[in-house]
Chains A and B, each alone.
Chain A
Amino acid sequence: MDEPTLRKTVFDTLRRIAPEVTPADLEPAVPLRDQVDLDSMDWLNFLIALHDKLGVDIPESDYQKLVTLDDVMGYLKARCG
C-alpha cells in the first residue's frame, strides 16, 4: 500500500470515531490525543479498526509507541509492506 492510500485509510478510520476532525488541521508530530478528543475507548476502537482494515497486528505492548500520527503511520508502513 502506498503512503497516500495508507494515510487516507488512517484518516478515514479516525473519522469514523471522531467525525469532527479535519485531517488537514492535524499536526503529524503532536500527540494525536492532544489534538482530538479521544477517550481510552475511542483510542482502543481506533487501533482495533486499523487492525481490521489493514490486517496489521498491533499487540498491546506496542500501544505506547503509538502517540502521534507520525508514529502510527511509521508503524503501519513498516508492517503493510
Chain B
Amino acid sequence: MTRAAIIRKNAAALAPAPHLLDYEVERRRFSWDAVRAELGTMPGGGINIAWAAVDRHLGTPVRDHVAFRFLGRDAHCNALRNDSRRDITYAELARLTNRFANALRSLGVGRGDRVFLLASRIPELYIAALGALKSGSVLTPLFSAFGPEPIKTRMTIGACKVLITTEALYRRKVASIRAELPQLEHILLVGEGGARTSVPGTRDLATLMEAASDAFEAERMSADDLALLHFTSGTTGTPKGAMHAHGAVVTHYATGRYALDLHPEDLFWCTADPGWVTGTSYGIIAPLLHGVTSLVDEADFDAERWYRLLQDEHVSVWYTAPTAVRMLMKAGPEVVKKYRFPELRFIASVGEPLNPEAVWWGAQVLGLPIHDNWWQTETGGIMIANTPAMDIKPGSMGRPLPGIDACIVKKTDTGFEEVREADVEGELALRVGWPSMFRGYLNQEERYRKCFSGDYYLTGDLARRDADGYFWFVGRADDVIKSAGHLIGPFEVESALMEHPAVAEAGVIGKPDPMVGETVKAFVSLKAGYTANDELLMELLGHARKRLGAAVAPKEIAFLPSLPRTRSGKIMRRLLKARELGLPEGDTSTLESGA
C-alpha cells in the first residue's frame, strides 16, 4: 500500500449508505431546528436527555433491543466463563433508570441538585447517570483514577449533594475528605460484586433501588435547563465546570448520525470512560439516541482483549483514542493476526491529533483507516470530523460537520478577526449557536466571557485550514497538558506539590511522549534544609500520586536549584519546556535575572 497524502473513499461501495454522503449538499440543507423536530419533545412538552435516550423508544420495536452490553473484567478471559456479561434492553433500562430517579426522589433529590458519579464502567454508573438526568438533577461524572484532591476540588466547586460510588473507591478516595465536603448530603454505595454495603454515613444503592418503584415520568426540562457539569482544566486556577443544558441532546443526536454514522443494527463501542466528556456524550447518550447497542467493557486496556472484543462482540462502529491506537500498534502484528473483524465498518478517534502513521496502520492492519475528529468539553459534541464518505487526509481532524462553522482567527488590536486565506496558523474558533455549546463555567462568568469574541467561541487550540477546508491541529495556545487525550491543568499539579513541606516552588509541563502525547513532568526547587536526593524524589512522587491519583500526578519529577520566573513572579513554564526539549528559549525579556 502506498502512502498517498489522501485516502480516497468510494462512498457508493459503503454499506449501509453513510448518513453524510454529499458534504456540501448536506451542509446547505441542514438546520438545527429540523433535527430538533425529528427528535421531538416529551408528550406534554419539555425535553430531557434521558427521555430522548431511553423512554422515547418505549413505543417502538427498539424497546426490546439491547441498549448496553456490559462486560465485567473477568468476562472473556476464558471463553467458558460468561457470568460477568450483562445485556440490558431499552425497556429494562427505562425501568432501572426510573427506579434510580425514584430513589433520588425518596431522598428529596431532584431538579437542579448536583449528583456526582465516581466509579469504573459498571452498569450502576450508567443507570445512575440516566436516572439522575430523568430526575432533573445535574450530573457530573468524575474519573475514577482521580486521587482525593481532584475529587474534593471538583465536588466543592460543583456543590455536590449526592455522590454515587463503589464501596472500595469510597474507602480509598472519599472517606478521608468527607469532613471537608459540608454540602455532600448523601453517599450511595455499590458493593463489590453486587454485595450489600453497610458503611456508616452512607446508603446501600441496591437497597434503595429495591424499595423504589420502576415507574417514573422524566422531569420536563427546558432546552436551557442545566443537565451536565463536566470539569476541564485551564492553565491557571482551579478546574472549570463547563455547564451543558438538556438542549445539547440535539447535537448528540446529529453528531451520532454524521460523525459516527450510527445505524440501527450497529454494535457500537466507545472506549472512553464516562469520567470524561467523550464517555458521557458518546459512551452513554448518543448511541442510545440512535437505538443502537453499546458495548461497555469494565476492564482496562489490553491489546489482545480489545482485538478479541472487536471480533467476538461483532463491533461495527468503534470510537477510540490515539493513545489506545498507539498501544495497539506497539503490541505488534502477531497479536492482531489471530483475529478477524469482518463486521467492523467504521473507526473514529478523538482526544488528540491522530498521527498519519496511525491512520495508515488502521487501513493496513484492521482493514479500515481511522477517522480522527475534534471537539472539547466546552463544545459538548463532535464539531470537526473525518466522516465515512469523505476522503481522509491523514493527520487532519477533518471538516466541520453540518451545522458547525469553524474558522481560523488572529488577534488584532481590537479583538479577533477571521483569517480567510488557507494554510495560515491561528486560533481555531467556532461560530456560536450550536445546541451543545457550554452555557458557562460554573461561578466563573469572567472566564466564560473571555472565551468569546463577537460571534466566535475561541477554542484555545491553534490550527490551520487548508484550501480544501480540512483543519489541521497545530498546538495549544496555553500551557494545558494533554495526556492520553485528557486535559491536565499544571496549576492543580503544582499546588499539590507545593503542599509538601520540602517544596519551595514547582513548575509543571507536558513532556512529549510517543504513546500518550504528553506526560506530566514536574520541576521543583527545595526549601533550605532539604537535600535533593533519590529518597526525597520518591517521597514527592508518592505525595503527588496520593493526592492527585495516577491520571493527574507527574510521571517524572526533577530538582532544580531555582525555577525561572518572570519579574512579576510567575513561573515560566514555557521556558522550562524549551529547556527540557533543547529548544530555543524564545523571548526571555521578562525573565527575572539569574534564573
User: A interface vs B, CB < 8 Å?
Assistant: 15-16, 18-21, 31, 33-34, 37-44, 60-61, 63-64
With A34-B168, A37-B550, A39-B145 as known contacts, state yes or no: A61 contacts B515, CB within 8 Å: no
The residue of chain A having its C-beta at the shortest distance from the C-beta of B513 within the complex is A41
Identity of the chain B residue whose Cβ is nearest the Cβ of A64 in the assembled complex: B302
Classify the interface of chain A: helix, strand, loop or mixed: helix
When A19-B538, A64-B77 are in contact, do A39 and B550 touch as well, CB less than 8 Å?
A: yes
**Is the CB–CB distance between B168 and A37 below 8 Å?**
no
Contacts of A43 on B, CB cut-off 8 Å?
300
Check B542–A19 contact: CB distance below 8 A.
Answer: yes
Q: Are A41 and B300 in contact, CB atoms less than 8 angstroms apart?
A: no
Contact among B303, B549, B550 with A63 in the assembled complex (CB-CB below 8 Å): B303
In the complex formed, the residue of B with least CB distance to A60 is B331
Shortest C-beta distance, B320 to chain A (Å), equals: 13
B553 → A minimal CB distance (Å): 8
Interface membership of chain B positions 546-585, coded 1 if the CB is closer than 8 angstroms to chain A and 0 otherwise? 1001110001000000000000000000000000000000
Sort chain B's interface into a size bin: 20 to 34
B506 to chain A, nearest CB (A): 17
* Minimal beta-carbon separation of B519 from chain A (angstroms): 7
B residues apposed to A, CB below 8 Å: 73, 77, 145, 147, 168, 300-305, 323, 327, 330-332, 334-335, 484, 515-516, 519, 538-539, 541-543, 545-546, 549-551, 555
Asked whether A60 and B332 contact (CB < 8 A) given A19-B541, A40-B327, A41-B555, the answer is yes
- For the complex formed, measure the closest distance between the CB of B148 and the CB atoms of chain A, giving whole angstroms: 11
How close is B199's CB to chain A, nearest CB, in angstroms? 17
Partner of B550, one of A19, A34, A38: A38
Evaluate contact between B484 and A60: CB separation under 8 angstroms: no
- A37 touching B484 in the complex, CB below 8 Å, given contacts A19-B538, A19-B539: no
| A1 nearest CB across to chain B (Å) | 24
Give min CB distance, B333 to chain A, whole Å. 11
B363 CB to closest chain A CB (Å) equals 22
Which one of B301, B335, B516, B545 contacts A61 once the chains associate, using CB atoms below 8 Å? B335
- Say whether, besides A60-B304, A60-B331, A61-B304, A40 and B484 are in contact (CB < 8 Å): yes
Given contacts A37-B147, A38-B550, 12 further A-B contacts (CB under 8 A): A15-B538, A18-B542, A18-B545, A31-B73, A34-B168, A39-B551, A40-B327, A41-B555, A42-B555, A44-B327, A44-B515, A60-B335
Alpha-carbon separation in the docked complex, A48 to B413 (Å)? 52
Provide a sorted-by-A list of 14 A–B residue pairs whose CB atoms are within 8 angstroms: A15-B538, A19-B539, A19-B545, A20-B542, A20-B546, A21-B542, A37-B145, A37-B147, A37-B545, A39-B551, A40-B484, A41-B519, A44-B515, A64-B305
Most chain-B Cβ atoms within 10 A of its Cβ — which of A18, A41, A42?
A: A41
How far does the alpha carbon of A20 sit from the alpha carbon of B544 in the complex, in Å? 9
Q: Which residues of B contact A39 (CB under 8 A)?
A: 145, 484, 550-551
Residues of B within 8 A of A61 (CB): 303-304, 331, 334-335
Give Cα A31 to B519, complex, Å.
25
Q: Is B538 in contact with A16, judged by CB distance below 8 angstroms?
A: yes
Give the most central of B168, B302, B516, B543: most A CB within 10 Å.
B302
